[in-house]
Amino acid sequence: MAYELPALPYPYTALEPHIDEATMKLHHDKHHATYVSNLNGAIEKHPELGKHTPEDLLRSLDTIPDDVKSVVRNNGGGHVNHTMFWQIMQPGGGGQPTGAIAGKIQEDFGSFEDFKKLFNETTAKQFGSGWGWLVLDNGKLTILTTPNQDNPLSQGKYPILGNDVWEHAYYLKYQNRRPEYLAAWWNTVNWDEVNKRFQTAQAA
């Protein structure tokens, strides 16, 4: 197997009450596991791809063989997106941002509350399944959305933070109340990890 499902860095119950145990089990053990399995299936057809990281595969989709390109895009994206997702959340997370990202958010959005409001409004409007992202674009923090499991890496942008708005990420607890889920999610954010990703984005 070229790629493996990473273990959750905390128990299934760790993000309650904001994200429930049942959702975490389904999301990690079923959905993320399926993305990894499908990505490995594509690698079996083209073993030379296995020497690349999933991130590098997404950065160079144009070079992926046509017969597995959509599989790599969808499932490689799902693997990369979810690996990040688990890492940028933590038990007892949330609160005001800390470190360098806090100053940059204030510089580019005016305040954390203004940023949160814009991020939630933008991501809530993503039609169907997809993600909301915070990226660094020409030195400025920018909010964007992508459909399905598309990742900003494929656009040459490094994701600093992202939230999953596929229904499987929230429907067991929030049903069709996506804005409620988006508001609650900020109580799980691991700002230390977001700062590490911000440093990576700056270096890139």
Q: Which domains does the chain have, with CATH numbers?
A: 21-87 (1.10.287.990), 99-203 (3.55.40.20)
Q: Is the confidence at residue 184, as pLDDT, over 80?
A: yes
pTM, whole model, 2 decimals? Answer: 0.97
Model confidence at 1, in pLDDT bands (50, 70, 90)?
Answer: low
95 torsion bin: left (phi>0), alpha (psi -120 to 50), beta (else): left
Q: Residue 79: helix, strand or coil by DSSP?
A: helix
Alpha helices in the chain (DSSP H): 21-25, 33-45, 54-59, 66-71, 77-87, 99-109, 112-124, 171-174, 178-185, 191-203
User: Which residue, 32, 117, 42, is CA-closest to 81?
Assistant: 32
Token digits for 129? 């399944």
User: Does pLDDT of 117 surpass 70?
Assistant: yes
Pair of tokens at residue 191: 């700002």
